[in-house]
Amino acid sequence: MVNQGRKNKFHTEVDLLYRLVINLPIIPIAIVGIQEQLSIYFWILPLVYATVFNILLPLTTYFVFEEKELVLTSLIFKRRIPFSEITRVTTTKAWKYIGMKYGASSKGLVLHYEKYEEVYLSPKPSTEFLNQLLLRNPEIKINVN
């Protein structure tokens, strides 16, 4: 057992840029809705959108260290990555990364695993997350800026 009292579950970091990108599209909808005095049905979709991305996504995005694998969870998506398959970790900005993202921060980590697979995530705190990862697989190459 590697845990030895250390943190086993990490939530995603949520930064201001994420909040701005999610909430800015709602402002024009609200302005149009007020000016045009539109019905409540006009507001349902933006409210669902805001609820999912402001509340549910940050609450359901987390990373759990199990005995032999890292479990990434976000909303209904779940991915299991064996520690032995992780080859390296690099840092990047979210807008530069195209692929599956388990994070709500503009800066995060990219886990490279298997031969060509990778996934973006933004654990909080990232240094403690990396330490836990290295405890489970000391062969992982870490390249963080």
> What is the Cα 75 distance to its own chain's centre?
10
8 A C-beta contact, residue 102 and residue 121: yes
What is the tens place of the pLDDT at every residue in 98-126? 677 888 888 889 999 998 899 989 999 99
pTM: 0.79
With a cut of 60, say whether residue 69 has pLDDT above it: yes
With a cut of 80, say whether residue 97 has pLDDT above it: no
With a cut of 80, say whether residue 31 has pLDDT above it: no
Enumerate residues 6+ apart whose C-beta is below 8 A from 58: 11, 12, 14, 104
Q: Which domains does the chain have, with CATH numbers?
A: 1-145 (2.30.29.30)
With a cut of 70, say whether residue 3 has pLDDT above it: no
